[in-house]
Structure 1
């Protein structure tokens, strides 16, 4: 078991970070970003965190807890000399895998650790079976039933989510409002500050349902028979080349990133942190990479619905561990039985 030194680092980071800052939704902050000479990205007003009155209080405990312990082995692709292209998009590489194109909405539940993890697991089941198995695994099973993952809708431990997939398996369950699968995600899409289509996210964090190892009424497959297991789970060595090889060989990965105040304003371009305090630790999928205006980037899928950012996606600076995106990357292989 690998013990991480991140808690001390994170506490220092939280306490010491005092660069140029403005309150959330500051017009001055948006102006600063859009007129910065070397920004590389554009911002627009979002309300994502205005409805989270207690977010700063929860970060000290829940955000740091996510990194207290490394429970997965670390793998490297140093011995694999595969040629890496300048551009790669999993949506194009595995066009028969619809899950890769899906953008989720965690709603008013801080479950990105579960949502991003099961999204990447679902992608990998498809990519590693050559498109013959297409499922959407249940994020709410992790939120409700994975006791070692953390406090459910109040952040969690994504490595434990991958371990749970291998040890316990996961049933199916589609995302917001789609009552398909054994345990579908129960929380509706909401406005994270950029939507005219959904009601605004509320002030109260949802309480996840009690763990119920029974599928929803009307679903014909028994809970135990609906399980999909991972064969192995691991953390990818934290460098650009290893992460790119992992994605190209096996499919999208899940990564944890540090979210600063300016990120919630992201609209287009290649994001890099410019200003604002650290808000939270968040999990996303990395599905590819590329170069835009000579800036290398990771192509990532967020979980704030399709009306945020680039239709739910964002690009972030690649190769320099921007916002720690290359430091905590989780993945796994599929049990082919």
Structure 2
């Protein structure tokens, strides 16, 4: 009871801190418990990508890149819907399967929604609901491939991870779709890559106040560091003079801007610009 009360007080104080700050570029709210709580957020933070060894590059707006870009507008109907990872640290698997699946659709050879569960249960270099990393998950996509959601639907929302199956749910043979490579992109080339080929795996460090994001351009204001999180990078832009990255989260469409959010771009905010991952695909 004390922990629940403490969490409620903490959330309220963070909301007040953000919304009372005249310099704040975003709006915070207290979400209903069914949308998110601090405990639920902590359970969903599962990015383990090692970024300490990656160089922090100075952000310079590349030549030939527009002021704003939104993959949803560039490729209408090609990006799959916002999902909800629920009580499982499978953000890394969501970001990976979404990036690969969206890229197949953009190429004109959609495989349908790709399976998060395939990565959670079968990628043995990662840790299921206990976390994973962009480079390792993209290596799995390249070496083994990812099957469809129809074949292996997501069942780990309760935090439990079943063993890797040998057959699809309907007992048919599992078919997986591979990427061609596994590069790491930087702030120098990630925008061009997104415009040319589609969304990428985007990781950053989460603080307590991020849970309360509703709209605007997120900048950490208050609260302690909670863990690493992986989402899908789908664009960028400028809002009220503030540059941002546009991302698709996996906390359901009731959170943020219908499941999306903006985060400060250009100064490695929350360690968000040390690496971006997505393999190329071929029909």
- For Structure 1 versus Structure 2, the TM-score category normalised by the shorter chain is 0.7 to 0.9
DSSP-derived class of the 2:140 partner = helix
Q: CA deviation at 1:309?
A: 0.5
Aligned residues: 269
The reply to whether residue 30 of structure 1 matches residue 15 of structure 2 is yes
Q: Which has the higher contact order (CA 8 A, sep 6+)?
A: 2
Task: Tell me the C-alpha RMSD between the 2 structures.
Answer: 2.7
Instruction: Give runs of aligned pairs for residues 1-337 of structure 1, distance below 5 A.
Output: 25-46=10-31, 47=33, 48-52=36-40, 55=42, 65-67=48-50, 83-99=64-80, 102-127=81-106, 129=107, 131-149=108-126, 151-173=127-149, 181-187=150-156, 206-217=159-170, 222-223=173-174, 226-237=175-186, 239=187, 241-336=188-283
Q: Aligned partners of 1:213 and 1:96: how far apart in 2?
A: 32
Checking the alignment, whether the CA contact within 8 Å between 1:82 and 1:245 is kept in structure 2 is no
TM-score with structure 1 setting the length: 0.73
Q: CA deviation at 1:32?
A: 1.0
DSSP-derived class of the 2:85 partner = coil
Q: CA deviation at 1:51?
A: 3.2
Which digits, 9 at most, give the CA deviation of each residue in 1:105-135, with x for residues without a partner? 10111100101111011111122x2x23242
TM-score with structure 2 setting the length: 0.87
Q: Aligned partners of 1:96 and 1:34: how far apart in 2?
A: 35
Checking the alignment, whether the CA contact within 8 Å between 2:11 and 2:212 is kept in structure 1 is no
Gaps in structure 1 of 5+ consecutive residues: 1-21, 174-180, 189-204
Q: Aligned partners of 1:39 and 1:107: how far apart in 2?
A: 29
Checking the alignment, whether the CA contact within 8 Å between 1:107 and 1:304 is kept in structure 2 is yes
DSSP-derived class of the 2:142 partner = helix
DSSP-derived class of the 2:229 partner = strand
**Residues 52 and 291 (structure 1), Cα distance of their counterparts in 2 relative to 1, 3 Å cut:** closer
Q: Aligned partners of 2:235 and 2:266: how far apart in 1?
A: 13
**Residues 320 and 68 (structure 1), Cα distance of their counterparts in 2 relative to 1, 3 Å cut:** closer
Q: Aligned partners of 2:138 and 2:182: how far apart in 1?
A: 6
Q: Aligned partners of 1:330 and 1:163: how far apart in 2?
A: 10
